[in-house]
Structure 1
C-alpha cells in the first residue's frame, strides 16, 4: 500500500499553516457569524500561542487537551498545539463533570486550554466539581485525581478566572521570550510520522476510545476529501458537525481549509439565524442533517432569500427544492474515526441495477477485505462477513491499547461493520452485535431497514429488538413517514410481507412524522428515546 502523492506543503500542521498563510494569507479561513479570521490571522495567532506553550515546557509529544466549540478559537488552538509537535486532544463540549475528568485522565493531558462557558455549559464549574481538591490549587496543579494535569488555561467570556487557572491572553504573553527563529526550529523537527491528535469516538455503544492519528495520514486524507469534492479558494462551506469529532474536524474544518476554502460556523443551529448566515456569507457548500433543511425552508421568508451561491453539499438540493432522487441509484460513502474520513467513496453516476444500495469502492490508499466473523478468514465475493480495512489513513492505534488488541496479524483493522463486497463495491448489512434474535432466527436490522425504505412514503426508519418472554426478542420499527404520505401500519406490514420472511416483519410498529424524531443536543438521533417509544408502543 503506497502513500498518495504529496501535498504542496510539508505534511505537518506547521507546514500546512505556513503555506496557506503565504499563499492565501488575506483570504477568509473561519467565519463565526459576525467574526471572520483570515489564514494569515490564524497563522499569527496560533504562532503566538505556540510560543507560549514552548515557554511553559510544552514540546513534541506533550499531550494538550482543549475544549472549544466550533469557531475561530478552535482553529487557533488546534494549530498552536500541533505546529510544535504537541498532540492535540479535542474535548467534547457536551461533557458533564465525570466525563470531562475521565477524558483528562485517560489521555494523560498535561494541560487543558478551555473556554470558560458555552451556551448553558459552565466548564470551570464542572472542573471544580469533578476534580477533588482543585479549589485549593494555584496555577500549577498537582492532584492525585489527575496526576499528569499541571495547568488550565482559560479564555474568558466575561467571568473571573479562578486561582487554579491562567487567563489565555496573559499566558500567551509569555511567548514573547521565544523568538520566531526558535519557533521555526521547533517546527522543523516535526515530521509527517509524528502523532498529531487523539480523537475520541462518541462512545454511543461503549466507553469512548482514543484514536491516534499522525500528521501525514490525517492531513493527506482530509486534503484529499476536500479536493475530491471540488473545494477550493472560492468556496465557503457550512458544516455544523462538532469539530471535536472526526465528522467536523476531518470532513468540515480540515478538508475545507487545507484546500484554501473557508468554513462557516455558528454557536448553534437556529433556523432563522442560520439562514441569515448562509445568505450573508454566500455559502457555496452546505452540509448537515436533512431535518435542518426542513427547518430552514419553514422560515417564513425563505422563498425571498438569495441562496444562489449554493452549488454542493447534501443540504443544497433539499434547500433549493431539487429532488435527491432514489439514494440507492448512486453509491454513498462510509467512514469512521479510525479511518480519518470515508474509507469508501461514492459514485456520481447512476449504478447498474445489480449494484444499487452500495456504499462505494475503497477510497484511494485503502484496502478492504471481508472475513468470516467466526474464523477470521477471508470469504469469497458476495458472502457476508466483517469488513476489515488497511491503508495509510487508518489510525496508528487506540491510545492505551496494545497493537495486538487493535489490529489483526496481517495489519488489517476489523471495523465491526458487517457487509458484502460485490464487483469491488461494499454493501453494508449491519453491525456485529446488532442482530435481532427472534424465535431462534437472526434478523439483520439493516435488511429490514432497506426493505422499509423501499416503501413509498417512508422517509426514514429505525429498527431494534425488544425483549419478549416467548421469542427472546421481537423486531420493532419506528417509521418516519413523509409529511405528505398517507400510510398506515397495516399498509407497511403488507408491503414488507411481500419482500421479507414473516419473522423479519416488525411485530411492533410505530409511525412518526419527521418533527417527532427525538434528537440529542449533538443533533444525532436519540436512539434510546426511540427504543423507549417502541417499548411504550409494545405496551
Structure 2
C-alpha cells in the first residue's frame, strides 16, 4: 500500500516499522507449528508453577484437534470456549482451528440467559468449559444445538502438590464440587487427551474467506452481535502488532497473560502474538493485584498488554514499592482511555514504556497506537498501524471533515471484519465502501495523530452544549485523591441531561463534593463541570477491566423511574 502525504502519520513512522507489510496467507494455527519446530524445548506456557514447552503444547493441540474430529467436528462448525486464562484455553483455541472449526469465545462470567443466547445465535455444536461452569452449561444445553461438552479443570495443569490441594480450595471458594462422568456426549479433558490419536485430518482453509472466530461484542447497544473474523484478519493484526514491537526478539520475550483470552484484545495482543513470537506466556486465570505483583517479580515478563484499570490497581496497591517491576519493557494499553497521570506513574515505577492504543472487536482489534520507542502524543490514541487507513467522517456519512474537526472515526485495512454473523442489515450500517464506522467521535491533528473525544452514544448534551465524558474524566484523574472515575450523562428535566461523576477514592483519602467541584471549576468551562458526584467503593467493569458507563446510566434511569412512580 502506497503511503502519500494524505496520510500525514507516515512521516512519523520510525525506520524500523514499514508502512506496509507482507502478510502470510495461511491459517492462524500454522504459527504454532512453526514455533514448535523452531523452539521445541522453549517454554510456551507458565501456569501457576507448571510449565509447558512449545513441543508439548503443539502435541496437545494436535491431540485435541483429533479428538474433536473423532466427535464429528466438520469444517465451519462452531465450538464455544468458556474458560479463563488456563493452558486448556490456549490448547482448545488452536485445536478447534486445526480441526477446521470456528472458535466462539464465551465469557466464563456469563449467566445462563447470556450463555443460552450466545450458543443459540452462533449455533455452536460443542463447548469446552471449566468444571465449575458445567452446571450452567447443563442447564441450557437442551435449548441449544450443543451435542458435546468437554469439561476441563484447573487442577489438571497444576504442579504437585497444588493439584492435590486445589479441589479443597475450590470447594471452599465456590461451595461446589463437580464430578463429571466421561461418556458419549460429556468428555473429561484429561481423558479426552489420553484417548486422542493425535492424527488430524487435513482441512483446506482459505485464510481470506474462512472464519477463525465469532467474537461477540459487549452488547451495550442491545443484544451482542457475533463479529466474523477470518484467519487473515487475525494473522494480519498479529503481524502488525509484531512489527510495532520491533525491539522485541523472536523466541526471547515473556508476556504477562492477565488480559482474558475470551476478549479479542487479550486473544491478539497476548495469545496470538506470543505464539507467533515464540514467547513464553505467563497465564493468570484471575486478576488479583498482589498475585500479579508477585508474578511480575518472579517471572520477569518483558511485555505486559493491559487496560487502564489494571495499571491503576497495581499503582494503588499499598505494597507496590516492595516489588521489582523493572523487567517490563513495553505495555500497550487498550479497551479504555489511558489517563496521562497513570501512564507517567507506571513508567516511573517500571522504567518501561506504556502507550495507549485503540481498536474494536470488529477490527481484530487494533487499528491505532502510539509508538512505543519514539515520538508519542499524550492524550492521543496514536497513529494508524501499517496498511491501516483512518479518516474522520461527518456523522452518518462518508464525507471527510477538515483537519482538527470532530467527526466519526472510520478505519480500513486487512484486519477489518467480514461482517456480523447472520445480520446483513447491521453489517451494512457499519461497513461502507470498505470503511468501518467505529461509532467513536474524534479528530486528527495536522501531524496525523488521532484523538478520541468519546463514543457517539456517550456524548452528553446538556442545556444545548456537547460535553465529552472523557474530557471531564481526564481533569478528574489529575486530582491526587482519585483512583478511578467515570462520567456519564443522566436524565435531567431542565438541561435534558446533566453531568454526573462516579468516583472511587484512593485508600485513606477523603474528599467532599464541594472540593471536587472547586477543583473542576479551575480546570474547565462551567457547563462541563459535574453537577452530581457519587462516591463508590468500586465501579462496574467488563472482564477486561473496561468501566461500564452504560450500566450506571441504566441504573440511574431505573432509580428515577421508581422515584417518579412514588411521587405520582
Taking only aligned residues, the RMSD between alpha carbons, in angstroms, comes to 3.6
Structure 2 residue 499 is the aligned partner of structure 1 residue 439: no
Give the aligned partner of residue 120 of structure 1: none
Contact 2:84 2:285 in 1 (8 A): yes
Contact 1:365 1:393 in 2 (8 A): no
**Matches of 1:189 and 1:291, distance apart in 2:** 38
**Matches of 1:416 and 1:211, distance apart in 2:** 15
Moved more, 23-32 or 164-173: 164-173
Give the aligned partner of residue 160 of structure 1: 180
Contact 1:10 1:16 in 2 (8 A): no
Pairing 1:146-185 to 2, within 5 Å after superposition = 146=144, 148-155=145-152, 159-161=179-181, 164-172=185-193, 175-176=196-197, 179=199, 183=201
- Report how far residue 387 of structure 1 moved: 1.0
- Report how far residue 479 of structure 1 moved: 4.2
Contact 2:326 2:351 in 1 (8 A): no
- Report how far residue 356 of structure 1 moved: 4.8
Pairing 1:130-145 to 2, within 5 Å after superposition = 130-131=140-141, 134=142, 145=143
Structure 2 residue 81 is the aligned partner of structure 1 residue 60: no
Structure 2 residue 132 is the aligned partner of structure 1 residue 128: no
Structure 2 residue 370 is the aligned partner of structure 1 residue 346: yes
**Matches of 1:430 and 1:317, distance apart in 2:** 22
TM-score norm. by structure 1 comes to 0.82
Pairing 1:210-225 to 2, within 5 Å after superposition = 210-225=226-241
Structure 2 residue 387 is the aligned partner of structure 1 residue 365: yes
- Report how far residue 72 of structure 1 moved: 0.9
Give the aligned partner of residue 28 of structure 1: 43
**Structure 1 spans left out of the alignment, 5+ residues:** 118-122, 135-144
- Report how far residue 274 of structure 1 moved: 3.2
Moved more, 64-73 or 431-440: 431-440
Deviations 1:455-476 (A, max 9, x none): 6665553211222233322111
SS at match of 2:266: helix
Go from structure 1 to structure 2 and tell me whether the alpha carbon gap of 1:61 and 1:366 turns closer, same or farther (over 3 Å shift): same
Moved more, 441-450 or 365-374: 441-450
**Structure 2 spans left out of the alignment, 5+ residues:** 3-18, 156-177, 334-341, 564-568
Go from structure 1 to structure 2 and tell me whether the alpha carbon gap of 1:456 and 1:152 turns closer, same or farther (over 3 Å shift): closer
**Matches of 1:357 and 1:320, distance apart in 2:** 16
Moved more, 435-444 or 260-269: 435-444
Paired residue for 2:433, among 400, 407, 410? 410
Pairing 1:41-80 to 2, within 5 Å after superposition = 41-80=56-95
Contact 2:105 2:262 in 1 (8 A): yes
Go from structure 1 to structure 2 and tell me whether the alpha carbon gap of 1:363 and 1:484 turns closer, same or farther (over 3 Å shift): farther
Contact 2:467 2:528 in 1 (8 A): yes
Bigger relative contact order, structure 1 or 2 (CA pairs below 8 A, ≥6 apart): 2
Go from structure 1 to structure 2 and tell me whether the alpha carbon gap of 1:316 and 1:438 turns closer, same or farther (over 3 Å shift): closer
Moved more, 259-268 or 342-351: 342-351
**Matches of 1:286 and 1:295, distance apart in 2:** 14
Paired residue for 1:244, among 262, 268, 283? 262
Give the aligned partner of residue 162 of structure 2: none
Give the aligned partner of residue 337 of structure 2: none
**Matches of 1:291 and 1:429, distance apart in 2:** 19
SS at match of 2:330: coil
**Matches of 2:554 and 2:207, distance apart in 1:** 50
Deviations 1:499-534 (A, max 9, x none): 54432221113466xxx3334472443546755998
Give the aligned partner of residue 198 of structure 1: 214
SS at match of 2:80: strand
Deviations 1:227-282 (A, max 9, x none): 42344322211131111111211112112221111111123233443333323323
TM-score norm. by structure 2 comes to 0.78
Give the aligned partner of residue 110 of structure 2: 95
Deviations 1:186-213 (A, max 9, x none): 1565545421111112224432121111
Give the aligned partner of residue 518 of structure 1: 539
**Matches of 2:57 and 2:442, distance apart in 1:** 43
SS at match of 1:322: helix
SS at match of 1:258: helix
Give the aligned partner of residue 477 of structure 1: 501
Pairing 1:274-313 to 2, within 5 Å after superposition = 274-289=292-307, 292=310, 303=321, 305-313=323-331
- Report how far residue 83 of structure 1 moved: 1.8
Contact 2:329 2:351 in 1 (8 A): no
Go from structure 1 to structure 2 and tell me whether the alpha carbon gap of 1:316 and 1:429 turns closer, same or farther (over 3 Å shift): closer
Contact 1:467 1:473 in 2 (8 A): yes
Pairing 1:328-407 to 2, within 5 Å after superposition = 332-348=356-372, 356-402=378-424, 405-407=428-430
Go from structure 1 to structure 2 and tell me whether the alpha carbon gap of 1:492 and 1:225 turns closer, same or farther (over 3 Å shift): same
Aligned residues: 507
- Report how far residue 106 of structure 1 moved: 0.5
- Report how far residue 74 of structure 1 moved: 0.8
Deviations 1:363-419 (A, max 9, x none): 111111211115442222222111111110111111112175244441111110011
Contact 1:33 1:277 in 2 (8 A): no
